[in-house]
Amino acid sequence: MSKPLLKDMIKIEDVRKQSRFPRREEKVKVEVIYDKKKSRYLLWSVALVSAAFFFFALSFLFSKTEIKVNPKIKELVLNENLSANRDSNNNGLFFNLVVIQGEEKKIIQATGEKDVFEKATGIVMIYNAFSSSPQVLSIDTRLEGSNGKIYKTLTKTTVPGVDKKGIPGSVEVKIYASAAGADYNSPPLDFKLVGFKGTPKYSKIYARSKGEIIGGFKGKVPAVSDANEAFILADLKTTLEAKLLQKATDQIPAGLVLFKNAVFLNMDNTNIPPTFENNNLTIILKGTLYGLIFNEQKLTKKIAEDNIEKYDGSEVFISNIRDLVFSLTSQDNVSFGDMKSINFNLSGPAKIVWKLDENKFITDLLGKLKKDFNQILSQYPNIDSATLTLSPFWKRSISDQAKKIKVIVNYPK
């Protein structure tokens, strides 16, 4: 065989090169396509994993526990007789007294005239500098004023004797003029007791008025019919009582209760001189409201002890306690200022509600499994029922952070 010529050898080499080059180019192209697809899948995988991780982290960051609690409630109808002392140091029930004074007035046109005879009135302090023994003074004891007029005591009274330091005993008493008329109206006066004249007591037992003596009048005045006057006075009394009750209620601090029927209005029309102008009559009604107030917690506990079988002393409250009907067992001739003890009755439907110590409840729940919730509830006899909500929904345990646990107690209004 003849050897190929150099020219032919060059052609053959070119053909080989041309046949190899396309194969390399095709192989590289395939490899590049394969790497791009793999990178894309890897990128999406990383993105999905990151999103899932972020979602879970975010959900745990905002995870929370909410518990709605229905407290134990006992409904009953009260008709209970109770007693209380004014001494707050007593271990039993005690009461305090709120006293508020006020007045209402109304100007009306007179429809006629009438004769009026009013005796002046005032208040005096009677002093006993005679001995250490008390001095009893009967009702209508006569006092002679430094103006020469005679006045009388409105009530029976006892003047204490001189104390160990030598200070005369004293007592306050109301007086009234022995006759009607403006002549008995006076600025403050000194008094001697007429009955002691000619005895050593005359200079040692004496009186001095507190403020002016006023209200004395005699003559004809514009007037309205008795029926119209009675209607106006009743209307003024209703208005005055409502105003004084609102004032009393506003002054009562939290933890004390004033029942609607535990307020008593004493009317006082003395010391009010009649006023007339242009045939108009001004009717003035003065009064003093006395309100009996109680410690709500002590009263509630007493009611619970008397009405709940095997009451264990748990913290309770009566949600509608102010709606109970209060009545004094006896209020005939009651002097509220001197009252030391009372007997009363409370009646009406009542809801006794058990309180929940929310801080202790949350502490007992921290980090506990959801399946253990009912077992924890069984340790709280003051809970009637409760529902647990965990967020996110797949959580199986209660948060271990107190700030992420919300307790809602459905106390009755």
Q: Which residue has the tokens 């002392």?
A: 85
pLDDT reported for residue 28: 47
> What's the DSSP call for residue 30?
H
pLDDT reported for residue 317: 95
Instruction: Give DSSP secondary structure letters for 64-94.
Output: EEEEEEEE-EEEEEEEEEEEEES-TTSSS-B
What is the residue type of 321?
I
What is the residue type of 210?
K
Instruction: Say whether pLDDT at 37 is over 50.
Output: yes
Whether 366 and 310 share a structural domain: no
Last residue of a domain, one of 219, 249, 277: 219
Encode pLDDT of 48-105 as tens digits: 666 555 445 545 555 788 999 999 999 999 999 999 998 776 678 999 999 999 999 8
**Percent of the chain residues past pLDDT 90, beyond the cut:** 57
Distance, CA of 327 to CA of 323 (rounded, Å): 13
12 Cβ contact partners less than 8 Å away, ≥ 6 residues apart: 4
Range of the domain at 398: 64-73+355-409
pLDDT reported for residue 87: 74
Whether 104 and 123 share a structural domain: no
pTM to 2 decimal places:
0.61
Whether 347 and 405 share a structural domain: no
351 Cβ contact partners less than 8 Å away, ≥ 6 residues apart: 73, 74, 75, 318, 319, 320, 412
Instruction: Say whether pLDDT at 384 is over 50.
Output: yes
Whether 104 and 244 share a structural domain: yes
Distance, CA of 10 to CA of 77 (rounded, Å): 123
Give the total number of structural domains in the chain: 4
Backbone angles phi, psi at 288, to 5 degrees: -125, 125
CA 220 to chain centre: 50
Encode pLDDT of 297-351 as tens digits: 999 999 999 999 889 889 999 999 999 999 998 766 677 877 888 999 999 999 9
Whether 236 and 290 share a structural domain: yes
Instruction: Say whether pLDDT at 36 is over 60.
Output: no
- Distance set, CA 343 to CA 76, 94, 258, 309 (Å): 22, 11, 16, 24
Whether 47 and 160 share a structural domain: no
